[in-house]
Structure 1
């Protein structure tokens, strides 16, 4: 038996040099940045909901063929671009006092979540029906950042880009998680289609089946569901008056404007009373004030008088001083001749605004820590019995959380309201972004939604998400209209959080499968020693 050793091949002078990888890398980053900008443009106040799938198509192309660490870079570029533009309104709130640091820090933190999601997507990108699994991983990241850290930050969820259009009816089936999943699947399907059409030698027709289905089926399902979205009154209707008293555009300066905001809402309510008496507007069944339009510390003879003169029940957004000295962000039910008759306190408080977590650390970054007391959170369900019906309440930031309105609807709410105080955030896009959330919630729960805002945008949202005569920003206004009361529960409400649990479970299963296949491939390669001897 003889053996001959094999020698490694040596490159010859004719071997072409390796291509420089940096132009391709920079091209992918540029594509990710462009995709992040397109996603931002799909959100309110622009009615460009249809841009969102194209943003994810661009992201899918940028991720094609990437491994974990490269995926992280692509995802961070995409996420940072989106959040820097989407959260620009933070500068209107904090810019003069804090500079750009809070805006940049929050955007970067959110982008890190998205970067990790894109890195993990590379682990499932080679599985059959990859656009589906990649979309599930993206929705997994939205679930995580909506809960962690410090109760999460669900602002900017993909579903909130869809207050109208083809995907919105899916909210009645699976809520915000299903809407977001449908948009992302469409985008990743389009991206896969582009990649396969551009493949060398052309694609096989069978290879296009899954991308085409992913690109077309979600929007088609949404369009097919539109006729099922009910808007008719099922248990009567209510004429509702929104009082928008207005507030100065002063950012953090509003901390010293509590009396001004209260006086503005009292004055606007008195104008409403005069209009009712003159017949200029119909007498409402319910009057609604925005979030924290006044302070309430025990009895309030002024609001007692206003409600008595209206001869109409009211929901008053107020900072409510408890006997313990703690303060809650509440909506108080006020009855003519009776006064205060129940209240709901906000459950999802805004970190660093309504309470300060990690005070010792926060003190290093803000001079306001020692002057800011922690509000006390409330408990659910968020329902108030007023105007002979049950009204569900989600105060401001709570519109971004699925469970608040879901629990209220499950407890019997026939109408929803989202009182808010967006005067802090200037004339930018924040108020419109939040109104888009209420429009999605209307379809998700099959309920009309009343949105009273301190300085706008106030609106009456129909159960199909349409808005009639929204108010303008930074104006005093009264909006009076009739809204239906509805009892039928949507499939989304009957399924509850299970839709999200199933989507998250699918993402975890896909990741485990992808990791397992990758480890098996590595073991297989490691076990194949090169042949070094011949008989």
Structure 2
């Protein structure tokens, strides 16, 4: 790699960079300088802010555009446009300026994307948006370095993957919302998930966007220097063609949907009485809703109004009491299961393994033998299902006391035999994490069940964002994905990512469907996280190369200026 001769970092007119060094403080001056010096510095800072305002505003608008690419709006082409625009905004900046523009882009993006957290508190929206934006701060600073190299669109696209890799894992197990792939679950990029998972989709979106930026930049230079039109037009045309090729490349990837068998399912959405933080209402209310809906299903089966399914799926927290410590809850579940005469996957909060913890479980409840195989959620949500540094933080944020006990994480995958089928259970936010779903499929799941409870975030757009993740997972693993939700959105997603059925929010509803079962594994299942790590390392190494080349060139220049 070589530094492009025409892309050395040059401060743009509105960058706010001043080449004049600050005058040295006079002897005996007060700390911070004399009054005139302090006034001069304040004036310079104000001037810097004014000059940086236009580019900051553009970055913020691009961040809002990126948010609109995600559900519930779902204008996915904006994800490509936002990446392209952001790459152009960073051109010619210093690393420090790029970092600021990363925050100007990232904070509005996450603020709008995560606005559903207002159901908990607006403080959570602001704090989490600020934390997530910090990852884009670092990425933008590195992109400034990468743009000094030839083939910079490739290196910048790799840095998008590197940013998502770190953000998906750190801190406290990471937070996966806002990945480029999750805005592209029904676009030409989507089939690429079958080859390299969500990271490859994100890479393709970012590469298409950065190539589009390179084409726009070449076109601008050609317009400014018509005499060099041929020289500038060729790279611009090549970048545009490559961007289009990446955009359409996913359409050439085959998505296998052939079934090795079927199982007929019924999804029971019992509903809740109210959305928000206190959706649970009085004890037994949610459990009664699901029992009543299942009893009605049993009556419809006996009357011939509904074809008898093989299994019944209840959502996460469909039992709002621990059935093993509450005999009434146990009996009500047993009543519903025996009435329908089929195995039911029940979602329940189970006490243990000690008095300070509770476990979020999916339990297979048989009409004859009762509760059997179970899955415990592996990835509890920090500050939602457990409180890190509880003793210290609850003194500062009193709302955290509303989480009286921490959720205890499970240790194994959710592959269980439910009736005639071997299904993989994934609970709620776990669908956002690549490794959990991939491990479940590789352990033998022939279809995926996502038990979820989105009642806290009803009618905020969060259920649509989570459903989009289910669509991507279906293509990534070549498996049908079933979402069972307490209050919606319950859905059936085909292995090619199509939504075949979906419920309305805050309604009692039962969905029935023939679910295809598949044993074939995709390339993404076999290669695992390797493509993600390779792309991320390429991006970081490109930045290291830019730094090394820059130091070498500065050293050569300094030596050339020394007297012989």
Distance 1:68 1:210 in 2: 28
Contact 2:280–2:286 under 8 Å retained in 1: no
- The aligned residue for residue 391 of structure 1 is 423
Q: Which residue of 2 aligns with 1:331?
A: 362
Give per-residue Cα distances to partners, 1:270-301, cap 9 Å, x unaligned.
12112211222111111101111113342722
Equivalence for 1:499: 531
Aligned CA distance change for structure 1 residues 518 and 361 (closer, same or farther; 3 Å) = farther
- Displacement of 1:72 in angstroms is 0.7
- Shift of residue 323, structure 1, vs aligned partner: 5.8
Alignment correspondent of 2:350: 320
State the secondary structure of the residue aligned to 2:115: coil
- Counterpart residue number, 2:53: 26
Q: Distance in 1 between matches of 2:345 and 2:434?
A: 22
Task: Say whether residues 1:74 and 2:96 are aligned partners.
Answer: no
**What is the number of residues matched between the two proteins?**
507
Matched, 1:360 2:391: yes
> Match for residue 429 of structure 1?
461
Question: Paired residue for 1:232?
Answer: 258
- Counterpart-to-counterpart distance in 2, 1:52 and 1:371: 36
Partner of residue 7, structure 1: none
Q: Normalised by the size of structure 1, how large is the TM-score?
A: 0.91
The runs of at least 4 consecutive aligned structure 1 residues that moved more than 3 Å come to 20-24, 255-258, 322-326
* 1:150-189 deviations in Å (ceiling 9; x for gaps): 1111111111001102000000000000001100111111
Deviation readout 1:84-105 (Å, 9 max, x if unpaired) = 10000000x223xxxx222111
Q: SS at 1:419's partner residue?
A: strand
Contiguous gaps of at least 5 residues in structure 2:
1-17, 20-46
Structure 1: which 5+ runs fail to align?
A: 1-16
Answer whether contact 1:185 1:214 (CA < 8 A) is retained.
no
For the residues of structure 2 that align with 1:367 and 1:204, how far apart are their CA atoms? 58
CA distance in 2, matches of 1:85, 1:254: 24
- The correspondence of residues 64-463 of structure 1 with structure 2, limited to 5 A, is 64-91=91-118, 93-95=119-121, 100-199=122-221, 200-201=224-225, 202=229, 204-208=232-236, 211-225=239-253, 228-234=254-260, 236-254=261-279, 256-294=281-319, 295-298=321-324, 300-322=330-352, 324-325=354-355, 326-363=357-394, 364-369=396-401, 372-463=404-495
- Distance in 1 between residues matched to 2:410 and 2:473, nearest whole Å: 21
* Alpha carbons of structure 1 residues 491 and 323: separation in structure 2 relative to 1, 3 Å: closer
- Distance change (3 Å), C-alpha of 1:255 and 1:351: farther
Higher relative CO (Cα under 8 Å, sequence separation at least 6) belongs to 1
Could you tell me how far 1:204 is from its partner in structure 2? 2.0
What is the CA-CA distance between 1:307 and the residue it aligns to? 1.4
Alignment partners' CA distance in 2, 1:501 and 1:213: 27
Aligned to 1:9: none
Equivalent residue, structure 1, for 2:70: 43
Residue 558 of structure 2 corresponds to 526
The Cα of 1:46 is off from its aligned counterpart by 2.6
Task: Compute the RMSD of aligned alpha carbons.
Answer: 1.9
1:408-429 deviations in Å (ceiling 9; x for gaps): 1111110101110000113110
Partner of 1:4: none
Cα distance, 1:23 vs. partner? 6.3
Superposed displacement of residue 255, structure 1: 5.0
Distance 2:494 2:78 in 1: 24
- Deviations 1:340-394 (Å, cap 9, x if unpaired)? 1110000110111211101133211124438611111001222111122211111
Deviations along 1:64-115, whole A, 9 cap, x unmatched?
1112011111111110111010000000x223xxxx2221111011111111
Mapped contact 1:75–1:118 kept (Cα < 8 A): yes
**Structure 1 pair 230/206, CA: closer, same or farther in 2 (3 Å)?**
same
